[in-house]
Amino acid sequence: MIGGLGVGELSIILCIVVVLFGAGRLAGIGSGLGKGIRNFKKEMDTEKKKEIENKGTDATPDERKSEDAAI
């Protein structure tokens, strides 16, 4: 399993976390984590699109000639 932890160990850890934080707070933490991951992915996609759009404008004249010749 994960790092040598079995199902029993993971169950005990989950129970301890629920007791410490409470079910309601865990839902909020999970929701916040999900939003953070979603925003991160969105920004990564945006950066890739910008990079692709700027690739043609950042190319040197020699690179543009070789790209045109390849087409």
Q: Higher confidence at residue 26 or residue 1?
A: 26
Q: What is the pTM of this model?
A: 0.50
**pLDDT band (50, 70, 90) for residue 71:** low
12-56 residue pLDDT tens: 999 998 898 888 888 898 899 999 999 999 999 998 888 888 876
Cβ-count burial 17-44 (b if 16+ within 10 Å, e if not): eeeeeeeeeeeeeeeeeeeeeeeeeeee
Q: Is the pLDDT of residue 3 over 70?
A: yes
